[in-house]
Homo-oligomer: A and B are copies of this chain.
């Protein structure tokens, strides 16, 4: 223990008044991933917080004249590091997605004449937005600061779970403003704002809500906005077309100091006179249920105006999250990569309920979360792989609550389905598979979820038998999704087969052997889309023939999603040995893997593939997209673990670094980060629901994992260095690990996992 104390003391560099409490927080750089395709946000939030208060650097429309605007893809998290201006600070952001929504309730402090339009990045002076410099920008966990050059205002942001806390330091001005732009949003399009209501309750409190029809189809967020100082005046810009109906509203002047507003496209300004250096603070609470709940959230979470206290409290929460794994790594850059990965793996899913436990369910009714914390925004196609297993290891209570949230979603689903991509009170149905079942099976098999396991199994079965969903009916009837009825027929088939295996494992665990038999049979359906004549998984038609025109490098139109045939043909995580046999044995698989990691792709490939750049791939191995996340580990079954070790260390080194462009692809709601964490520790959950990890090559020197069961696991890499990537031997509590697998239960017992590293394979 003394040794650990020493490391901790060593780590304790002062950051602010509360430094002694925040030894690990300082290594988190939220700016990582904010350039290019990381799609992370730099703003303030607490772990899994409902509010993500962060700058938005542009407001690109989703579509122009009804056509998708490719530019918008950059703005999934609202912020792009290269942009020269900040439009404002909004309260909700996804982290690392490849599609988006949110950006609710954009606030911008300004000085000078009131400007009610955002302006453009090349002429920020024509709108309320402002130029800024990264020199004047600080991003820490739960703290963001930037100087807004156009307005000479210092903006500082922090949060509690459901409240964004803004602190704006003004110059002396008789013409200061807070803009509240209720039109702004991420992935906006003309009809996205369905309805907005605003009530100016008094000269320092505003409440309201906005309903949007975006990626989440029917999504309403309520708010309460409190000012530290009364505003002098306020005004409104209503951009709705004038309705013939609205005659009687002409009895009021609705543009100035009119407190009862509603419409589709509203903007507001609140006016102040300020002294030099005067701080105007705003508490902005949100709720999925009601304005009064938003106000109650504010009163419960931040009953005062002490910005530093809120900031510190949130940073303490982060410290507690980060302390779950204390690592000793060779360089400061490694340390920043590791803790930023832990940070990114604690942003989503987000808490989705009020302080009183209420939330709006998938059925659009108000529900009470009874005995669990309700979460939303499950990007399950990404996160079932490593993110949820990561939570099962060091954050089981949260994952248990996430499973409970999925079960609540299921109970509210008129389709009787578990979430695909739960999104506030919606499912946006993004990506393929029904991977809730993987998360649920893994959590129950590992003893994490303590709820009604038979009910959970039933939910899994119902979901897997939702015949109307994305080819499931045909999949059940024919054993594969035919390519003539689905554009992602092959990836669907492969993912369904894996999910079915998860259900089988869960059923076995629960003694439901009837269910096990059904689903273990279904789990071999991957074989039905393997074409031995070409050695790849290949789209197959209803009549049983394989699709004629077939390009093993392309993704679109080839029956896959986010992964071409080269990558997806390896996606049989539950039966890799079977897959290897099918492919012709160890040597064939070994050659296949070697080719994958080394082949040279034509430039044309990059032009037509979303979310992939040359930086983000190694040969044709695409680390930025998830289907290959287990692939490097497959060398374990070709008898060449040293190749796995080498590749994993290479990926750790080259796909993650400290820059704003430090992520090779979308972080995907923590999945990319969870891969980094597992792989840095030397093991990875190749097939969640198996209770097994596969061995890789640790990048840490030491790691201490503090489990919720009270046990501690020490991971040591003896003779660790950048060159010594090869693992000669592994012992767990003194016993040599003979296979390439570790049991989850064995790790949870704590003790010492020692890797003996070597320069030689």
Contacts and interface: CB of A to CB of B under 8 A. Distances in A.
A291 B195 contact: no
Contact of A213 (B195, B253, B428): B195
Contacts of A68: 244
A247 to B, nearest CB: 9
Interface string A340-378: 000000000000000000000001111000000000000
Interface in A125-166: none
Among A192, A245, A430, max chain B CB count under 10 A is at A245
Given A194-B194, A245-B214, A414-B260, A251 B469 contact: yes
Contacts of A200: 414
A290 B363 CA distance: 10
A244 B67 contact: yes
Contacts of A253: 468
Contacts of A66: 244
B468 A244 contact: no
Contact of A201 (B187, B414, B470): B414
- Measured as residues with beta carbon below 8 angstroms from the partner, the interface class of chain A is 35 or more
A188 to B, nearest CB: 10
B428 A243 contact: no
Among A63, A67, A200, A365, max chain B CB count under 10 A is at A365
Contacts of A291: 363-365
Interface string A57-86: 000001100111000000000000000000
Given A468-B252, A469-B252, A218 B197 contact: yes
A249 interface: yes
A197 B361 CA distance: 13
Interface in A183-218: 187, 189, 191-192, 194-195, 197, 199-201, 209, 211, 213-215, 217-218
A4 interface: no
A152 to B, nearest CB: 34
B197 A195 contact: no
Contacts of A209: 364
A365 B287 CA distance: 13
A114 interface: no
A470 to B, nearest CB: 4
A553 interface: no
A227 interface: no
A194 to B, nearest CB: 5
Contacts of A62: 244-245
B243 A197 contact: no
A536 interface: no
6 contacts: A68-B244, A213-B245, A218-B262, A252-B470, A290-B366, A291-B364
Given A258-B468, A260-B414, 12 more contacts: A63-B244, A189-B244, A191-B241, A195-B218, A197-B218, A201-B414, A217-B249, A248-B429, A259-B415, A260-B413, A291-B365, A292-B365
